Structure 1
Amino acid sequence: MLGRERLEWEVASRKIGVVVLDADPPAKPQCAAMLVPQGRELDWIFSSKAGQEQLLASSGVATLILLSRGGLGSEEQAPALDEWELDEEEDEDEELKKFLGPFLLQLVRNKAGLDEIQEVPFACYQDNVVWSRVLERAYSRKTGMMLVEDVRLEGGHLRRRLRFKSLPNLIQTEVPLLGGDLDLGLDRTDSPSACSIDHGVLVHAYLAPLVAGFSLISRCLESCSAAGDPAGVLCVGIGGGALPMRRFGLVPAENLRVHVEDGVETVRNIARSRLEDGGGAEKEKVAEHFFHAIVVDVSDGSSRSCPPEEFAEGEFLRDARSALDSGGMLAMNVMPLGEESHRGLLKRIGEVFDEVYQLEVSSGDNFAVFALKNPLRGVSVPLTCKIGNLVGSELLNNIFKVETYISCGKKAWDRKRSFLARRIKICSGLYS
């Protein structure tokens, strides 16, 4: 972002906070104004530099002007707990926009390419949130400030969300809520007990594809079940450190252990313990760390891309392979920066694992990538049917085997994905 100017206007006996954002490099010479939804002036989306940069980038204009009723504020002024509800006084908003028109023209006409503009159009921010209450703010040295909030969406759906200040427009974690009416005066500190988490619904679009990938190791999982041994799954990156245990219904149990520690170091330590050649006691200790799947869903909060670099390097990939059972799989949520970065990641994974598979998420932003320690030798039809019934059979039939990513060249990523993969049918004829 090239420029970020903060002003305050006195307009008809009311204060208007003004933030002028200029693109770097300059976009096409267009401008727009945006009236911040009343009550959301301190939301990181509108008040933080990171949020404003995302708004400017998504607007596609050279200059974006944010207008806040009540004057300027900053996210640092936000109380420990706060709440807002959408003000639907559209007539008042339209009247204010007309009144501000001449002021906006005067503000932009000294900018390059905007000297002859006759009107500054208004853009509208829409995220279908009509009510929000912040439950907790927390800090992590890895990701910075983050918050947990309950929201009500248009249509009445209730959600609990985790957002990072560094990427406030990106919802890191989201789960449905059941029971209780969140806006009937319930004590905010009691909200976790007033509403329960609905664990039966996967909200994020990429979660079902990650589950679908378990069909690739269905024979391995079926063997575990037949032997009476539970399959071992290591999930790296549940989000927010200890917050999921307090706010998202993650309850440790005999078959579910939670470790708040560095994910890269954890996998490295498991890999090293498996390579040790100790006595009986040591072997028993190592046997506890045989994982049939490692799921990596990690963001460092500084970029929309994932996983972070340290999870995409050869050293981590080799450690993950060593930590897996012979029939095991590494599953990874991938949001690439573009063709080159994605092809590079697939290449590094392919150099470590025997086979690599991929499933594109319906949103088009994410990929679920699956790396097998040993080649696929077929699947368990009964277990694969169960997975298909759970997440949808179309996902199983759209898993691709990655084969030609090294030689695909610099083709347009959005038109030539077929050069990166060959489609396979997980169950021949089962879902055709």
Structure 2
Amino acid sequence: MVMALDVATFESICPSRFLTFTIPDPTYPDSLLRVAVLDSPVPTSDSPLVAAMFVPEARETDWIFSTEWGHFQLLFSSPGVSRLILMGNQFNEDESSPTIYHRRLVSSPRRKELEVCSKPLFLALSPRSLFKNGIPEVPILIYEDNLVSSVVIHKCAGCLVGEMLVEDVEIETKSRADGCCKREFRRRLRFKRMPNLIQTEILIVPGTEDFHLSSLGIGEVEFMPDLRVLVHPYLAPMVASLSLISDYIESRIQLGFRPKALCLGVGGGALHSFLRNRLDFEVMGVDADKEVLRVAKRYFGLEDSEFMHVVIGDAIKFVKKLSPQANWHPMCSSATCEHKGHCHFPDGEDVNHKFDVIMVDLDASDVRSGTSAPPLEFVEKHVLLAAKSLLSELGILSINVISPSRSFYSKLERHFQEDFAQLYKIDVGNGENFVVIASASPRVSSIGDHNNSFFMRLKSVIPEAYMNSITKISN
């Protein structure tokens, strides 16, 4: 059934309204184009900014471009835009066999033709207030990333996170030393509810030694996880926060204690595996969805061990109930351990002991809040106080933050300054993430050279530039 659209529908901005429809393709007979119109949930001025974007060819089925949640994130990554119009080839939602995507080296002539033909449509989809000073120009935004090729190797659904996918990708990376581009293979975990946010990313290598890298391509060979290096942009900065308490950790090691980390959010478990295998931590991870943990073990190399503990449960509830103020044991029904006994540490201590570091990598469940990470409820005062109560005397809390909202960041900073002794920040450098570090005590180490084996080990596995970029936020 074909439905006619009333142009009057688009004369004003309607916060969070999302409409999609198809039109004939003026460049290809008998073909259709999908058009999506999304209005920002944030109130706009009397002179709204409208922008358009063409979906990269052959990526029409990618959740980034085919779902409402992906469109919201595209809108939020375009500051000041009140209405975003997306146009791309109509796609078949019944995806059967996985398709290997390869980026076009040059833009097709059809795209230029389509841009010209689409200008009247973009104007017709613009609000009336945009015409106060004559006929406006609707800017065309370009979607760019470092993706060269990709293939989905697994799709499933978790009871809480919903649909998710695992994909192997080839990307272009620039060497810090000489600025030259090189190819690199990685494995990613993404959720449909927030498709533009990569939940986990690890290096992968061919499963056979009989290969020539230059001749390999995605989908042509089986790859295996390589967990020696953290490639997800904000994970290395989060680990770099340990330099603030490296003297304390070294003293604990010298006394025969193993440093302990609580990681809220597991995803593929790259951070957990790195802390355990490269820095010899005892790690407890908490994730609400058992299916996510299954995927982490099957595709991302997360392994059970004597010093790796995985708890299934809501991370925020877990922190509140684990705090000394709560009379609760983690084997209760609200958060259960995946394997019997893993909620206890091997030395016989109850799980309610103190952690040297709490690392928070949780994303918001609703992208319309304008904040991708952490969830809004995590920065509430009672949650922060519960987390603080789980830290050792010189422990720190390291949290990944992704938010274009200045008001949310101000709230986060204010609550941390009220409840913690000192506050630090690391700019990840990708224009999206930054890491906030809160210390339970003002007595943290100065940033610089340390004559201890733990700091030297940390420097050998994490770029020292991240440690040097830690800045204190004044109280």
TM surpasses 0.5? yes
Alignment partner, residue 356 of structure 2: 292
Aligned-residue offset at 1:58: 4.5
Do 1:27 and 1:62's aligned partners in 2 also have CA atoms closer than 8 Å?
no
Aligned to 1:169: 196
Matches within 5 A, 1:279-358: 284-286=348-350, 289-303=353-367, 304-358=371-425
SS state at 2:311 partner: coil
Equivalent of residue 437 in structure 2, options 370, 386, 390: 370
Q: 1:214 aligns with which of 237, 242, 259?
A: 242
Of the candidates 43, 49, 67, which is equivalent to residue 48 of structure 1?
67
* C-alpha distance in structure 2 between counterparts of 1:120 and 1:378, whole Å: 52
Q: What residue in structure 2 maps to residue 412 of structure 1?
A: none
The farther-off stretch of 53-62 and 296-305 is: 53-62
Q: How many residues align?
A: 385
Structure 1: 5+ residue runs without aligned partners? 187-193, 405-432
Pairing 1:94–2:115 present: no
The corresponding residue for 1:259 is 311
- Report how far residue 312 of structure 1 moved: 1.4
Alpha-carbon RMSD across the aligned residues, in angstroms, is: 3.4
Q: 1:196 aligns with which of 224, 243, 252?
A: 224
Query: Secondary structure of 1:238's match?
Result: coil
- Aligned partner (choices 116, 136, 141) of residue 154 of structure 2: 136
Change in Cα spacing, 1:66 to 1:352, as seen in structure 2 (3 Å) is same
Instruction: Find the aligned partners of 1:121 and 1:396 in 2 and give their Cα distance.
Output: 40
1:6-25 per-residue CA deviation (whole Å, 9 max, x = no partner) reads 11416544312221425445
Aligned equivalents of 1:199, 1:117: Cα separation in 2? 54
Could you report, residue by residue, the CA deviation over 1:172-219 in whole angstroms, capped at 9, with x for unpaired residues? 211111124454545xxxxxxx32212122212222221121122222
Spell out, residue by residue over 1:38-67, the C-alpha distance to the aligned partner (whole angstroms, 9 max, x if none).
Answer: 2x2211111111223333555648552412
Report whether the alignment pairs 1:387 with 2:458: yes
Contact 1:151 1:161 in 2 (8 A): yes
Cα distance in 1 for partners of 2:165, 2:322 equals 31
Partners of 1:88 and 1:298 lie apart in 2 by 34
Relative distance call for 1:151 and 1:117 in structure 2 (3 A) is: farther
Q: Name 1:64's counterpart in structure 2.
A: 85
Q: Which amino acid aligns with 1:392?
A: P
Contact kept in structure 2, 1:143 and 1:302, CA below 8 Å = no
Q: Would the alpha carbon gap of residues 270 and 394 (structure 1) be closer, same or farther in structure 2, given more than 3 Å must change?
A: same
Q: Distance in 2 between matches of 1:218 and 1:44?
A: 41
For residue 356 of structure 2, give the secondary structure of its aligned residue in structure 1. strand
CA drift at 1:130: 2.6
User: Which amino acid in 1 is paired with 2:60?
Assistant: E
CA distance in 2, matches of 1:3, 1:182: 37
Q: CA deviation at 1:267?
A: 2.2
Residue 159 of structure 1: which of 167, 171, 186 is its match?
186
Moved more, 351-360 or 267-276: 267-276
Q: Distance in 2 between matches of 1:337 and 1:317?
A: 22
Instruction: After TM superposition, give the deviation of residue 366 of structure 1 in Å.
Output: 2.5
% same residue:
30
